[in-house]
A and B are shown apart, each in its own frame.
Chain A
Amino acid sequence: EPEVTQTPSHQVTQMGQEVILRCVPISNHLYFYWYRQILGQKVEFLVSFYNNEISEKSEIFDDQFSVERPDGSNFTLKIRSTKLEDSAMYFCASSEAVVAEAFFGQGTRLTVV
């Protein structure tokens, strides 16, 4: 069964450092997303991406965040200067079409120290 894969599964970084979280969406999917979940809280939307551009973003997705699809398979989330409050589980998701079910990767647990 096709699945969304994310690397690394866990990343520890020092405050102020840049991190790149990587995702390989399901191969025939055209819509890509990043969500995050702070421990004990609900899943929150960050950004959606379609046709090589951002189609929607939340207030959380400020200037320190960026997304990129550098090649035909990878989808990345970059956090330029990490803060302690960026510590969370980051989930990548993809869907085949608009108004279709989204499938989530297993997540990257980011810990900022």
Chain B
Amino acid sequence: RKEVEQDPGPFNVPEGATVAFNCTYSNSASQSFFWYRQDCRKEPKLLMSVYSSGNEDGRFTAQLNRASQYISLLIRDSKLSDSATYLCVVLNNAGNMLTFGGGTRLMVKP
């Protein structure tokens, strides 16, 4: 089983749509989780941390399900500028290594 697994997509959605991505991780002892966004040939940029209770930042909502070892990201009211690859990232227990999923590509169309 891959350490961090994501559906590569692409997800093609119209502007204004709601889209959800899931990610599974293999290490049940993992404590910290993040969603990063990566534009083509650019660096990963932190989108949001994922907390056990779930958290929301504007149009973005992240959820963590420890029992099933999956993390989700929900994007509401998609904008053209949301088109990017979304990376699910898990931090190891020592806090010194991030493991990245392969990313899910989102394309928002007018």
Instruction: Identify the A interface with B (CB < 8 A).
Output: 31, 33, 35, 41-45, 48, 50, 55-56, 58, 89, 91, 93, 98-107
Q: For the complex, is B80 an interface residue (Cβ under 8 Å from A)? A: no
Tell me, yes or no, whether B43 is within 8 Å of chain A by CB: yes
Overall SS of chain A's interface: strand
| Contact of B97 with A56 in the complex, beta carbons under 8 Å | yes
CB-CB under 8 A from A107, the residues of chain B are: 42-43
Residues of A within 8 A of B45 (CB): 104
Give the contacting residue for A89; candidates B32, B41, B87, B98; CB below 8 A.
Answer: B41
By a CB distance below 8 angstroms, the chain B residues around A58 are 97
In the assembled complex, 16 residue pairs joining A and B whose CB atoms fall closer than 8 Å, in A order, are A42-B100, A43-B38, A43-B87, A45-B99, A48-B96, A48-B97, A50-B96, A56-B92, A56-B94, A91-B43, A93-B98, A98-B95, A99-B32, A100-B95, A102-B46, A103-B46
Q: How many of chain B's residues touch chain A, expressed as a range?
A: 20 to 34
Q: Are A56 and B100 in touch, CB under 8 angstroms?
A: no
Please provide the chain B residues from 54 to 110 with a CB less than 8 Å away from any CB of chain A in the complex: 87, 91-92, 94-103
Residues of A close to B98: CB separation below 8 A? 33, 35, 45, 93, 102
| A101 engages B94 (CB within 8 Å) | no
Q: Which 10 A-B pairs have the closest CB atoms?
A: A98-B95, A104-B43, A48-B96, A99-B95, A43-B100, A56-B96, A42-B102, A55-B96, A56-B97, A45-B97
Extra contacts besides A48-B96, A104-B44, A106-B43 (12): CB < 8 Å: A33-B96, A35-B100, A41-B102, A42-B102, A42-B103, A43-B38, A48-B97, A58-B97, A98-B94, A98-B95, A104-B43, A107-B43
